[in-house]
């Protein structure tokens, strides 16, 4: 499953669980049980955030690696040379074009991963405040 789908799935799961906890608290259920469930949900949510942070770091490093490769290939392509072999410049042009396309997709994917992870941080705060309120 792609990371953006996992982010969306976890976002929906946390929203529904927070709504369930709020409903249970409003129905005057046992506050200790609700608090216990909120604590375990917060623990689970923070572990999922750690997983997404790790993925975010890996994709950032890969994005930087491809950016360095792209810049290097462009620099080599534009360095004046005295070679009679024009196919080297054509080869570097093709490599640069491929790296540019890959880099665009990596930046786009990283953008969604970064913003999706940032959205999840607010639920940690909501759950923490919910636990404080029910304690």
Q: What is the pLDDT of residues 18-45, one digit of tens each?
A: 999 888 888 876 778 888 899 999 999 9
CA-nearest of 59, 39, 57 to 102 is: 59
Helix (H, G, I), strand (E, B) or coil at 27: coil
Instruction: Report the distance separating Cα 43 and Cα 124, nearest Å.
Output: 9
Cα 88 to Cα 45, 57, 75, 129: the distances in Å are 51, 35, 13, 61
Residue 97: pLDDT band with limits 50, 70, 90: very high
Residue of 32, 44, 14 lying closest to 119 (CA atoms):
14
Q: Where are the alpha helices (DSSP H) in 27-85?
A: 31-78
pLDDT of residue 70: 94
Burial class (CB in 10 A: 0-12, 13-18, 19+), 12: exposed
How much of the chain exceeds pLDDT 70, in percent? Answer: 94
- State the chain's mean pLDDT as an integer: 88
> What is the pLDDT, as a whole number, of residue 134?
80
Taking the CA atoms of 33, 34, 37 and 38 in sequence, report the sign of the dihedral they define: negative
Indicate the SS3 state at residue 82.
Answer: coil
């Amino acid at each position: 499953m792609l990371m953006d789908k996992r982010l969306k799935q976890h976002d929906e799961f946390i929203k529904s669980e927070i709504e369930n906890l709020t409903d249970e608290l409003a129905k005057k259920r046992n506050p200790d049980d609700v608090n216990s469930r909120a604590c375990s949900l917060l623990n689970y949510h923070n572990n999922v955030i750690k997983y997404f942070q790790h993925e975010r770091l890996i994709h950032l490093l890969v994005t930087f690696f491809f950016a360095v490769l792209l810049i290097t290939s462009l620099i080599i392509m534009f360095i004046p040379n005295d070679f009679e072999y024009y196919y080297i410049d054509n080869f570097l042009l093709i490599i640069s074009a491929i790296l540019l396309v890959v880099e665009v997709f990596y930046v786009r994917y990283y953008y969604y991963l970064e913003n999706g992870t940032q959205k999840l941080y607010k639920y940690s705060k909501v759950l923490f405040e919910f636990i404080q309120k029910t304690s």
